[in-house]
Amino acid sequence: MTAQLIDGNALSRQLRESVAQRVATLKTQGITPGLAVVLVGDNPASQVYVRNKVKACHDTGMHSVLEQYGATMTEADLLARVDALNNDPTIHGILVQLPLPAHIDAHKVIEAISPAKDVDGFHVASAGALMVGQPGFWPCTPYGCMKMLESIGYNLRGKHAVVIGRSNIVGKPMALMLLQQNATVTVCHSATPDLKAMTLQADVIVAAVGKRNVLTADMVKPGAVVIDVGMNRNDEGKLCGDVDFAGVKEVASHITPVPGGVGPMTITMLMVNTLESAERGLAAQA
């Protein structure tokens, strides 16, 4: 069997069109959704990410502010910038690009962002809201994975989902989202003794590890859906995921490619969260 591709670029285009329409509607009510992106230091990968986020804002008609600071910026100065953005009515979402330089406590900075503007969904309040099923902002990467499953009409009820990876930004929130959709969820990590025994039971596998070929064809039940969050480089320096794509696509029913899978969805869900923040603000005024 050759799996059907879940095309993150195509789905992103579709979702961004609908975001652009909702942005246009909000503008008629005098609100332009605004995202502030704060970058500290000169990490080249971060510079690409922030540029893509700002471009996505422009493409969907949103307002964006890119604040770039040198690597020597103090934690106090960064906290002061976050505070100013919290109080800026033209800004509905604040994103502080990670990683931050080592002298800055990233947790402290994220906790300083108002939960009402935490469009990355990394604040403890956002994590807590997801945990108890209350409205909040879902972290963009696992949220994008859920949209990909939705796009193929996949009903998670009663299905066994195996998440590989337990980070706060991908693995753990992913597991909670799958649970909320009535899947039975297993979370694997570096201390899982027999990963293959787990993944072979899975109807859905989400790989979020950051290591090439963590998931190979012999580890996948025929017909399973495979979502590859990983971003790695192969021997030729090309972007690749955690999944042995060539092998696994012959066993899975659906698979996401890297590149062109989860990556574009992450930025798209950031747009969705920023738009929703602006819409919530308007609803709160009514």
Residues forming the active site: 53, 97, 120
Provide the token pair at 118.
């935490």
Shortest separation between residue 241's beta carbon and ligand NAP, angstroms: 8
Q: Which of these segments, 84-92, 117-125, 187-195, 270-278, binds ligand NAP (CB under 6 A)? A: 187-195
DSSP string, the chain: --PEE--HHHHHHHHHHHHHHHHHHHHHTT---EEEEEEES--HHHHHHHHHHHHHHHHTT-EEEEEEE-TT--HHHHHHHHHHHHT-TT--EEEEPSSPPTTS-HHHHHHHS-GGG-TT--SHHHHHHHHHT-S----HHHHHHHHHHHHTT---TT-EEEEE---TTTHHHHHHHHHHTT-EEEEE-TT-S-HHHHHTT-SEEEE-SS-TTSB-GGGS-TT-EEEE---EE-TTS-EE-SB-HHHHTTT-SEE--SSSSHHHHHHHHHHHHHHHHHHHHHHHH-
Indicate which single residue of 11, 164, 185, 248 sits in contact with ligand NAP (rule: CB under 6 A). Answer: 164
Size of the site for ligand NAP (CB under 6 A): 26
* Residues from 141 through 160 that contact ligand NAP (CB under 6 A): 141
Shortest separation between residue 20's beta carbon and ligand NAP, angstroms: 21
Q: Which of these segments, 100-108, 122-130, 205-213, 277-285, binds ligand NAP (CB under 6 A)? A: 205-213
Binding mask 13-52 for ligand NAP (x = CB under 6 A): ----------------------------------------
Q: Which is nearer to ligand NAP, 26 or 240 (CB)?
A: 240
Shortest separation between residue 1's beta carbon and ligand NAP, angstroms: 25
- CA nearest to 275, candidates 39, 56, 10: 56
Q: Which is nearer to ligand NAP, 132 or 191 (CB)?
A: 191
Provide the token pair at 233.
């480089």
Indicate which single residue of 163, 169, 177, 226 sits in contact with ligand NAP (rule: CB under 6 A). Answer: 169
The yes or no reply on residue 165 touching ligand NAP (CB under 6 A) is yes
Shortest separation between residue 197's beta carbon and ligand NAP, angstroms: 13
The yes or no reply on residue 191 touching ligand NAP (CB under 6 A) is yes
Residues that bind ligand NAP (CB under 6 A): 141, 164-167, 169-171, 188-192, 195, 208-211, 214, 229-232, 262-263, 266
